[in-house]
Amino acid sequence: MLLLISPDGVEEALDCAKAAEHLDIVDVKKPDEGSLGANFPWVIREIRDAVPADKPVSATVGDVPYKPGTVAQAALGAVVSGATYIKVGLYGCTTPDQGIEVMRAVVRAVKDHRPDALVVASGYADAHRIGCVNPLAVPDIAARSGADAAMLDTAVKDGTRLFDHVPPDVCAEFVRLAHASGRLAALAGSVTQADLGPLTRIGTDIVGVRGAVCEGGDRNTGRIQPHLVAAFRTEMDRHAREHTAGVSSVR
Ligand SMILES: O=C[C@H](O)COP(=O)(O)O
């Protein structure tokens, strides 16, 4: 499982750079503009320059409306600015067809410019609170639009967690559906170390984290702490080892 960490700007990205050996992807967002709030192009560029070249930079395009042209242009802005994972939060899409239309436009805009960039279709575990597409529709939206990954995050950051809205067995189905069409499965939403056991067991490819590696566990008032990133990774590695040992002992 890969660890994606979301700093809120250049200063925090520098703290991520100090913990670079413990993380896999640096994810640029602007939390005060929403769960998947988009940051400025120059911030993406500065963060790309600040983190080691072997660490991919991801950028969120926003909690987007059902406006395929607008979103495609924003996605192109993110990839031109140096991000190679482009995440789109399908906030304003109320049906799978709308999600597919938006994501097809994003895939074309991104891959025309940079074919090796990865496009991530993100839904929300608490979709019922905002009226957007059902979480289990997201893997199919990713598959039918040509996106590379299906993701879930929480839309409302009020302390409720991924598993409060989509329990582990449903997340397992999400991962299964994503894998069945050859997509990666990414999960996030106030994930803590306590969630790493189930996330590992169900085969999650990428876990996205911010609050759990911020001072005081607070994604808004706390800053990312390199030692918390290291501790999170240690716990991920422990679960990965235990899972591998468990799988081989039942063979
Ligand atoms: O993409 C990952 C998100 O930034 C997760 O943030 P969070 O752990 O504070 O919910």
pLDDT digits (tens, 9 = 90+) for 208-244: 999 999 999 999 889 999 999 999 999 999 999 999 9
Cα 207 to middle of ligand 1, angstroms: 9
Residues comprising the chain, all counted: 251
Q: For residue 251, is pLDDT > 80? A: no
Cα 19 to Cα 14: distance, rounded to the nearest angstrom? 9
**pLDDT confidence tier of residue 246, bands split at 50, 70 and 90:** confident
Total structural domains within the chain: 1
Within 6 A (CB) of ligand 1 lie: 4, 6, 27, 153, 157, 188-191, 208-212, 219
Ligand 1 centroid distance, CA of 35 (Å):
8
Average pLDDT over residues 199-203: 98
Task: Quickly state the pLDDT bin for 248 (edges 50, 70, 90).
Answer: confident
Give the CATH number of the domain where residue 96 resides: 3.20.20.70
State ipTM. Answer: 0.97
Range of the domain at 202: 2-249
* Lowest pLDDT segment from 80-84, 168-172, 246-250: 246-250
- For the chain, what is the mean pLDDT? 96
Q: Which atom of ligand 1 approaches the CA of 87 most closely?
A: 1
Q: Which of 64, 50, 62, 46 is nearest to 14 (CA)?
A: 50
- Helix 138-145 × helix 168-180 angle, to 10°: 10
Given this model, what pLDDT does residue 247 score?
80
Q: What is the mean pLDDT of residues 88-116?
A: 98
How would you class 158 by CB atoms within 10 Å of its CB: exposed for 0-12, middle for 13-18, buried for 19 or more?
A: exposed
Instruction: Return the active site residues.
Output: 29, 87
